[in-house]
Structure 1
Amino acid sequence: MWADLARRTNRLVPDASVAAVADALDYLCLAQLYLRDNPLLARPLTPADVKTRPAGHWGVCPPVNRMLATLGPLQAAVPNGYELHVLHGAGHAGPSALAHAYLTGRLGHAHPDLRQNAAGLRELVAGFPRADIGGEITPMIPGHLHTGGQLGPALAIGQGTVLDAPHRLSVVLIGDGECETGTTAASWLATRALHGTGDHGTVLPVVLLNGMRMGGPSVLSTLSRAELTSYFTGLGHQPVYSDGRDIGQLRQAVAEALGAAQPLGIPGPSSVLVLTLDKGHGAPAHLAGTPAVHKTPLRDPAGVPAEFDALADWLASYQPTQLLTSSGRPRPHLLPALPLPRPEPDGLPAPRGCVAASAQVAGHAGGRPFAQVIPEVLRARAEQGPFRVFSPDELASNRLDLADSHGRLVPWAVEVLNEELCHAWAQGYTETGRHALVATYEAFAPITLSLIQQQIKHRAVRRHAGLAPLPSLVYLLTSLGWHNTLTHQNPSVTSALLAGGDPTLHVLTPADPARTAAALTFALRKLDRCTLVVAGKHTNVHHPLETLDEELRHGIAIWPHLTHPGPGEPDLILASAGDLPAEALTTLARRLRAERPDLRLRYVHIHDLTALAEDGARPLALAPDAFARHFGTRAPLVLATSGHPADIHALLGRRHPGLRLAVLGYRDPGRPVPQAHLRQLCGLDDADLWQLATTLTDAPKEISVP
């Protein structure tokens, strides 16, 4: 379908229109980098028209602009029911994205001061890089599923966008420097892991082989044409080449590449378009082929006469008045190659009944082990609509049996031994409105930390732009370090994400498998969150579920079966966050009640760590009266977490209870130790907990007061 559409638009839309759009994009990029006035050169350029400190990147713009211009007629002709997305993996293409959104009119819809008129054009050029939009690709520029500038994941994210979407084509623009990253390198072959996983759309990778990174030649550019062909052929991709100088030839190459492109998951070679236009094409001849073209090749044209003359000639070579009218609109001969602005897709309906549905799941799961109830939750979710599980070859190890009756993995679950690919596929899937889960070892999740942080930033900008909420990013972190070897002990992804302070982050620490089932159900129904569910696969201890609703709604609850009733301050407060801490502290609580019946005890379980945050810092942060109701004002407090104790101290911030609080959690032993020794080292064995509790409750009261 896509190849036919390309061939048809190649016949109907003149090459001259596409070339004019490419020139207009180049000019607008250059003007954004250098001009602060006189955006159409309506009068002779003067140094006062030029920015004193040019900022931004020119090098990647020319090849990106040629691709955007070439794809324009296809985007304009996409029939109803089909979608064409462009993802920018190549870094620093912000000027191109802004210029294209301006020419299509989409930018003006999102930012009225950037409409297609003289004032809007002047603001686009003079305001770059605007503080409220920035100079890179973000959701502040309409139509972008992936924040540009982070090299590596774009191809895999593009693959994620077309899973279960046979109506969708995603064109991914990949810098040749980006091809040196591990994530991109893995993405070429990883499509083989998607064979037999359903009906998918098509990805057309476009490698912008412009020859250079920031500081010198890219590795890919050192290959001869024969070596390059062998490289891509060995990866299962049939390369189609174009130098991009002749727009007609580039359009034919795109049609050829689309003709050879296979839907994702179909065995056999697919295509890759290799665009070899030189980096910074169009820059002054004495700068061509040098690292200077990466950013602004002319560093100070406002102050150096020779550079000013070079800039004036460079800008004038595009004949901007032949491309744009005096009112800032594209001239008629550009219009056939420009797609019309399309409305943003409607958002997903707000989820209803999350707590009730999650509690019902927990009721069915009560008393059964993790290995039974969690696969049931995932299978039930898959029956409700588009849903995928991605895991780095760890489903069986994590006791998540998702095999069918023949012992084969169900099509909606994919394993590939690369954590970054699992995240990127899930990111592409959720950014296009579907639900996904990444299931991995707790210790391996930090590999994807940068990707998670970037997606959180992307989602934050989406909210700022007023875009509709999307399905949440959900991680199930199991195979916890408490039951693993030293190399598999690392709960730091939670620490790093909590330190970021994003209000949509939730860290769920359920106490038992039933609560884990409820937590996953809850997390997968919610929108626009990043949720980590931290749960050990070995948990066998179960707790009463009477407070589950409160835990789901508020992230915390007092467990009445272990708490002495009545008003007043208790003698000791025990608080658990996680299944192993709950097992350890409930054992302690039962012993205290048996051997110290006079001791007034309060037991608190923290289902969502963010409930501990300073008042107003996060949605579930306890108000001061609720904080005191749970954690008292004078009583000694023992809080055990499955992660780093520092997470608790950081969350509590200025309302830290001081010396009356003892936080127990994971401490790196620095060497391999038996599991029992690790618990002892961290103070979570029965003997140490008993000693701590009796010491705190036997001490004079004034000692425990901060």
Structure 2
Amino acid sequence: MTTNALARQPLDPDQLHAIDAWWRAANYLSVGQIYLRANPLLHEPLKLEHVKRMQLGHWGTTPGQNFIYAHLNRVIRQHDLDMFYISGPGHGGPAVVANAYLDGTYSEVYPEIGQDEAGLQRLFKQFSFPGGIPSHASPECPGSLHEGGELGYSLSHAFGAVFDNPELIAACVVGDGEAETGPLATAWHSNKFLDPVGDGAVLPILHLNGYKIANPTVLARISREELEQLLRGYGWTPYFVQGSDPQLMHQAMAATLDAVVAQIRQIRDDARLRGVATRPRWPMIVLDSPKGWTGPKVVDGKPNEGTFRAHQVPISVSESSPPEHLHQLEAWLRSYRPQELFDQHGRLKAELIALAPVGTRRMSANPHTNGGLLLQDLCMPDYRDHAVDVPQPGVSGIGDTRVLGPFLREVIRLNAQQRNFRVFGPDETVSNGLAAVFEATNRQWQAATAPNDEFLAPQGRVLEMLSEHQCEGWLEGYLLTGRHGLFNCYEAFIHIVDSMFNQHAKWLKMTAAIPWRRPLASLNYLLASHVWRQDHNGFTHQDPGFIDHVVNKKAEIVRVYLPPDANCLLSVMDHCLRSRHYVNVVIAGKHPAPQWLAMDAAQRHCSQGIGIWPWASSDEHGEPDVVMACAGDVPTLETLAAVSILRRYLPELKLRVVNVVDLMKLQSPSEHPHGLEDDDFDQLFTRDKPVIFAFHGYPTLIHRLTYRRTNHDNLHVHGYKEEGTITTAFDMTVLNALDRFHLVIDVINRVPQLGEQAAHLKQRLQDKLLQHKQYIDENGQDLPEIRHWMWNAPDAGTLG
């Protein structure tokens, strides 16, 4: 659908002049940010000393974003909309800063950057300058919702923001380069999950300006017919605004936005007032404008505006550049006629100030862009009500996440009225053992349904799409706008969002240091179907490396928890859902597994994060001969099975069992706020005794976390060694030397005083490993003594 500006001209001459003036002012401020350090209003001829020594920034997308922002301001005022702005091509940072300054929010947040000439000079100089602000949309800019340095997540963030925000409209500018990324290309399908009754609306604005850094964009080089068919195929109603003449484009954009707002209201009224249940075709806009619009047409004899050359800094100005570059920059700046826009003191003229929405209707001041302002605590059930009865260590369990499921079900029920908690996952909520949540809610789904579908409804607290990118992006948008959530995923495939996690962790780190930003609910990952129980799916599903990736981020942001059983998982998850401004990674199993701690003991253990298990140890009357440490549910099982063998066959050996729930306890407090003091660490692990550490992930991570500790040289870590296949559950541990037999052999090798008395035991263990291999190859399952092993059984620890 193309808006014909000649047929519909909704702007009267005064409105047209005012919007164009705002646009020129935003463009002027944008160019000033990239280039100027002095003479911000050009009260004197431009000189080299007025120009930054290094010019950084991205001009190409900026004028189009300024154009969009100016027109959104008009419809917000005219229709009293609750709307905010997401800059998908966030490298166009000058645009979001310029508009936040023009509408006054920037100076309110940063009073030193006032609405005068001195404030303008500070605004210009700080941009991409040491001690200043980044060149991308960033946490420092009011109104920014996410870091703009990486492309692809704008649309999924927009949808996450409007879930459960029925009056909110997220105006999401999608760059045509960004549209080539996998996450963005998939995000168009988010409209199949948006409930027009209980959710807000997303207005995508595809900014079709033709080029990336050095190449044309795909969507700009296909026919209009093909592009329209593509967008309609995604389920949208596209409106096209195309051209370069400012006067015609202003009228076309105004008419289009009026039509789009009317269509959004019609969809809402149909659903909310008239009960229309069919999935709507939401409107979107395609803005086809030149890259670097209003910038230099030609630089050094080569076309600039409308080409890839306009992407970053169109003109280089320095002592070594041609003198005409300085004159061309001055002519470019003066083409916006700043004397018509700002008074003699540098303040935006009153008639232009009046264009901006007021108060929190300003997109740069919308409280949803500083979600901590809106954040309310979850109503939490008592997790102890869901405790597993553990009369003695080692009782059988149904699967730790299957115990967690009813707890999450109650979280959903208790927050049903507030509508501020959701579970996100890539079609894995049932598979990961959380099916109990569907006793309280459904999967939200707006597309067609069939009789055999389960738990699909127009409204629900669970959002599932087989795209980790979308689940992550939706959840981030939900959290960034002041709500709570949980992302459950297979451990091996959470790597798909490594880069998205990076950006969110960086956002949390930066916003924690910005006084006017308020803390957000934590980003919580529950990783189930983990490496040690992916025996049936094989090598492709076996990768615990997300932990390594996470611990690279700032210590004040990241937390990693490895609860050994269901009661510990309940305690940990209760803590994570209550926490603020962290990324919490929780790894837990879904398969039947032994339960070790009663709830009171689990609560104490998780509060400490690490501790000795006296009931499994045999060193209570002296220093241990060896420390058996473990982190993770399967490593804990194999460690205790190894301990049972050692206690049966080497009863004089003094053993200490140390279990780690909070992985960051292993670091020193100088490296992580949860870290143990050296004296406390030494008391647990000794200063000179061998430590056999069974770890859920890659062994090198434990060495990395503990390399400064006194006894590090005696630390011997067993973990995942990138060995796997389709096999049995126990054989997965054998392949990686994490099994009980390898652990006992390592103890024999590391404890010098055992000597010859352990030689026969070591031989029996090696024979047992051969027996195991022969048995599984013939029977397709583990040895009975493995499958039926129990800690407290009379024959626990026997080798058959």
Alignment TM-score > 0.5, same fold = yes
Residue in 2 that maps onto 1:592:
646
Is 2:291 the counterpart of 1:279? yes
Residue 114 of structure 1 corresponds to 113
Q: Check whether the contact 1:197–1:412 (CA below 8 A) recurs between aligned residues.
A: no
Change (3 A) 1:237 1:353: closer
Out of 360, 364, 373, the residue aligned to residue 403 of structure 2 is 373
Aligned counterpart for 2:314 among listed residues 280, 297, 314: 297
The answer on 1:141 being equivalent to 2:141 is yes
Larger Rg: 2
Secondary structure (helix, strand or coil) at the match of 1:39 reads coil
Q: 1:474 aligns with which of 519, 524, 543?
A: 524
Mapped to 2, the partners of 1:435 and 1:365 lie a distance apart of 31
Partner Cα separation in structure 2 for residue 43 and residue 133 of structure 1: 27
Which residue of the partner structure matches residue 229 of structure 2?
230
| Aligned equivalent of 2:694 | 640
Report the AA paired with residue 28 of structure 2.
Y
2:534 is equivalent to residue 508 of structure 1: no
Over 3 Å counting, the alpha-carbon distance change for 1:693 and 1:700 in structure 2 is closer
Aligned to 1:661: 715
Q: Per-residue displacement from partner, 1:649-688 (whole Å, max 9, x unpaired)? A: 1111322623311111111126655443331122222221
Aligned mates of 2:357, 2:468 — CA distance in 1: 37
> Which of residues 543, 558, 564 in structure 1 aligns to 2:612?
558
Q: How does 1:496-575 map to 2 (within 5 A)?
A: 496-545=549-598, 546-564=600-618, 566=620, 568-575=622-629
Is residue 568–residue 603 contact of structure 2 (8 Å, CA) maintained in 1? no
Q: Indicate whether 1:270 and 2:282 are aligned.
A: yes
Q: Structure 2 CA distance, aligned partners of 1:11 and 1:608?
A: 64
Tell me, yes or no, if structure 1 residue 443 matches structure 2 residue 492: yes
- AA in 1 matched with 2:421: F
Q: Distance in 2 between matches of 1:382 and 1:77?
A: 38
After alignment, is 460-469 or 441-450 more displaced?
Answer: 460-469
How do residues 59-74 of structure 1 correspond to structure 2 at under 5 angstroms? 59-74=60-75
Distance 1:644 1:412 in 2: 35
What residue number does 1:166 align with?
Answer: 166
**Deviation of residue 475 (structure 1)?**
0.8
Correspondence for 2:503: 454
1:501, CA displacement in angstroms? 3.7
Number of equivalent positions: 691
- Equivalent position amino acid for 2:347 in 1: R
Residue 629 of structure 2 aligns to which amino acid in structure 1?
A: A
Q: Which residue does the alignment assign to 2:433?
A: 399
User: Is the Cα–Cα contact under 8 Å of residues 87 and 170 in structure 1 kept in the other structure?
Assistant: yes
SS in 2 for 1:113: coil
- Asked if structure 1 preserves the Cα contact closer than 8 Å seen for 2:559 and 2:582, the reply is yes
User: Residue by residue, what CA displacement relative to the aligned partner does 1:240-296 show, whole Å, maximum 9, x if unpaired?
Assistant: 111373323212211212233456996131111111111001122222233220011
Task: Return the alpha-carbon distance in structure 1 between the equivalents of residues 697 and 574 of structure 2.
Answer: 22
Cα distance in 2 between the residues matched to 1:648 and 1:96: 45
| Cα-to-partner distance string for 1:175-195 (whole Å, 9 max, x where unaligned) | 001111111111112332x16
- 1:86 aligns to what SS in structure 2? strand
Distance apart, 1:43 and its partner CA: 1.6
Alpha-carbon offset, residue 44 of structure 1: 1.9
- Does the Cα contact within 8 Å between 2:562 and 2:587 map onto a contact in 1? yes
Q: State the one-letter code of the partner of 1:48.
A: E
Contact 2:427 2:464 in 1 (8 A): yes
3-state SS in 2 of match to 1:100: helix
Range with bigger deviation, 150-159 or 565-574: 565-574
Name whichever of 471-480 and 408-417 sits farther off. Answer: 408-417
Q: Specify every segment of 5 or more residues in structure 1 that has no aligned partner in the other structure, as ranges.
A: 1-6, 702-706
Contact 1:365–1:517 (CA under 8 A) maintained in structure 2:
no
Equivalent residue, structure 1, for 2:791: none
Partner deviation per Cα, 1:624-664 (whole Å, 9 max, x = no partner)? 22212221112211111111111111111322623311111
Please show how residues 69-80 of structure 1 align to structure 2 within 5 Å: 69-76=70-77
Amino acid at match of 1:604: V
Equivalent AA in structure 2 for residue 514 of structure 1: N
Higher mean C-alpha displacement, 224-233 vs 272-281? 224-233
Change (3 A) 1:565 1:661: closer
Q: Please say which of residues 198-207 and 422-431 is displaced more in the overlay.
A: 198-207
Conserved in 2, the CA contact under 8 Å of 1:105 and 1:341? no
CA change 1:174–1:407 in 2 (3 A) is closer
Query: Closer, same or farther in 2 for the Cα pair 1:56/1:196, shift >3 Å?
Result: closer
Counterpart CA distance in 2 for 1:490 and 1:335 is: 55
Give the aligned residue type for 1:642. Answer: H
TM-score by length of 2: 0.81
Q: Tell me how far apart the structure 2 counterparts of residues 351 and 388 of structure 1 sit (CA, whole Å).
A: 14
Residue 11 of structure 1: how far off its partner (Å): 7.9
**Cα distance in 1 for residues equivalent to 2:125 and 2:293:** 23
Greater Cα shift, 104-113 or 327-336: 104-113
Alignment CA distance shift 1:69-1:489 (3 Å): same
Distance 1:358 1:117 in 2: 56
Q: Distance in 2 between matches of 1:397 and 1:71?
A: 43
1:182 aligns with 2:182: yes
- Among residues 323, 329, 334, which one is paired with 2:341 in the alignment? 323
Q: Report the alpha carbon displacement of residue 465 of structure 1 after superposing the two structures with TM.
A: 0.9
Kept after mapping to 2: 8 A contact 1:164/1:198: no
Is 648-657 or 381-390 further displaced after alignment?
A: 648-657
Equivalent residue in structure 2 for 1:408, among 433, 455, 462: 455
Aligned residue number for residue 310 of structure 1: 328
Structure 1 residues 424 and 198, CA gap change in structure 2 (3 angstroms): farther
Q: Which amino acid aligns with 1:167?
A: E
Aligned residue number for residue 742 of structure 2: 688
CA distance in 1, matches of 2:488, 2:278: 25
- Partners of 1:144 and 1:99 lie apart in 2 by 12
Unaligned runs of 5+ in 2: 1-7, 272-276, 299-303, 392-396, 441-452, 756-800
- Which residue of 2 is the match for residue 259 of structure 1? 262
Check whether the contact 1:348–1:470 (CA below 8 A) recurs between aligned residues.
no
User: How far off is 1:92 after superposition?
Assistant: 1.0
Match of 1:678 in 2: 732
Q: Are the aligned partners of 2:472 and 2:487 in contact in 1 as well (CA < 8 Å)?
A: yes
Partner amino acid, structure 2, of 1:338:
A
**Take 2:405 and 2:500, find their aligned partners in 1: how far apart are those partners?**
26
Q: Determine the C-alpha separation between the residues in 2 that align with 1:60 and 1:666.
A: 46
Offset at residue 75 of structure 1 (A): 4.2
| Identity level (%) | 31
